[in-house]
Amino acid sequence: MSTTALWSVSGLATGLDWRKIIDDLMAIERRPITALEQRKSRLEAVKKAWSDLKLALQAVDSKLDPFFLSTTFQARVAASSAESVVMGTASAGAPTGTYAISVQKLAQAQVVASAEQPQDALGLAGDIYINGKTISVVTTDTVASIRDKINATAGVGVTASVVNTVVDGVTKSILVLKSNTTGTAGAMALDEDANQVLTKLGVLVNGAPNVKVTAQDAEFKVDGVTITSGSNTVTTAVPGVTLELNGTGSATLEVKADVDGMVAEIRDFVNAYNDALSKLRSYLVNQPGDAGPLAGDPTAQGIERQLRQLAYGAVSGLPAGMDSLYDIGISTTDKTGALAIDETKLREALSARAGDVAKLFYSADEAVKSVAERLRDAFRLWVQAGTGLIPTRESGLDSLIKDMADRMRVLEDRLKLREQRLIEQFVNLERSLAVMQSQGAWLEQRLAALQPPTE
pLDDT tens digits along 404-441: 888 888 888 888 888 788 777 767 766 777 667 667 77
Strand, coil or helix: what is 48?
helix
Please tell me the predicted confidence (pLDDT) of residue 4.
47
Percentage of the chain modeled with pLDDT above 70: 92
* pLDDT-based confidence at residue 346 (cuts at 50, 70, 90): very high
Q: Report the C-alpha gap between 53 and 24 in whole angstroms.
A: 42
Q: Which residues of 364-392 are buried (b: 16+ CB within 10 A; e: fewer)?
A: eeeebbbbbbbbbebbeebbeeeebbbbe
Please give the average per-residue pLDDT across 346-353, as a whole number: 94
- Beta carbons within 8 Å of 37's beta carbon, 6+ residues apart: 408
Please tell me the predicted confidence (pLDDT) of residue 12.
45
Please tell me the predicted confidence (pLDDT) of residue 401.
87
Residue 41 has pLDDT above 90, yes or no: no
Please give the average per-residue pLDDT across 269-274, as a whole number: 96
- DSSP secondary structure letter of residue 81: S
Phi and psi of 242, rounded to 5°?
A: -100, 120
Please tell me the predicted confidence (pLDDT) of residue 7.
40
Most confident of 36-50, 158-172, 287-301: 158-172
Domain extents in the chain:
14-75+258-431, 76-107+217-257, 111-213
Please tell me the predicted confidence (pLDDT) of residue 455.
56
pLDDT tens digit sequence for 326-342: 999 999 877 888 999 99
Please tell me the predicted confidence (pLDDT) of residue 434.
65
Residue 2 has pLDDT above 70, yes or no: no
Please tell me the predicted confidence (pLDDT) of residue 454.
63
Please tell me the predicted confidence (pLDDT) of residue 289.
66
**Contact between 135 and 149 (Cβ < 8 Å):** yes
pLDDT tens digit sequence for 188-225: 999 999 999 999 999 999 999 999 999 999 999 999 99
Average pLDDT, the chain: 89
pLDDT tens digit sequence for 45-84: 899 999 999 999 999 999 999 999 989 999 999 999 999 9
pTM flag (> 0.85):
no
Please tell me the predicted confidence (pLDDT) of residue 292.
87
Phi and psi of 230, rounded to 5°?
A: -75, -10
End-to-end CA distance of the chain: 47
Strands 133-137 and 126-130: antiparallel
Please give the average per-residue pLDDT across 315-330, as a whole number: 92
Please tell me the predicted confidence (pLDDT) of residue 31.
85
pLDDT tens digit sequence for 370-402: 999 999 999 999 999 888 999 999 999 999 989
Strand, coil or helix: what is 232?
coil
For residue 97, is it left (φ>0), alpha (ψ between -120 and 50) or beta?
Answer: left
Dihedral sign, CA of 222, 228, 232, 238?
negative
Bigger pLDDT: 37 vs 274: 274
